[in-house]
Amino acid sequence: MNKKQQASLETSKKILAIARKHFSLKGYAEASLEEIVDELGMTRGALYHHFGNKKTLFTAVLAQIQSELGSYVEQKRPGSTRFLGAIGGRLCCFLFVLRPLTEK
Q: What is the pLDDT of residues 76-93, one digit of tens each?
A: 666 655 655 555 555 555
- The reported pLDDT for the residue numbered 6 is 94
> CB-based burial of residue 61 (10 Å sphere; 0-12 exposed, 13-18 middle, 19+ buried)?
buried
Residue 71: pLDDT over 80: no
Residue 53: pLDDT over 50: yes
* Mean pLDDT along residues 37-56: 96
| Closest alpha carbon to 98 in 15, 14, 20 | 20
Please report, rounded to a whole number, the percentage of residues in the chain having pLDDT higher than 90. 57
pLDDT band at residue 104 under the 50/70/90 scheme = very low
* Mean pLDDT along residues 91-103: 56
- What letter would DSSP give residue 89? T
- The reported pLDDT for the residue numbered 5 is 92
- The reported pLDDT for the residue numbered 30 is 93
Q: What is the pLDDT of residues 15-40, one digit of tens each?
A: 999 999 999 999 999 999 999 999 99
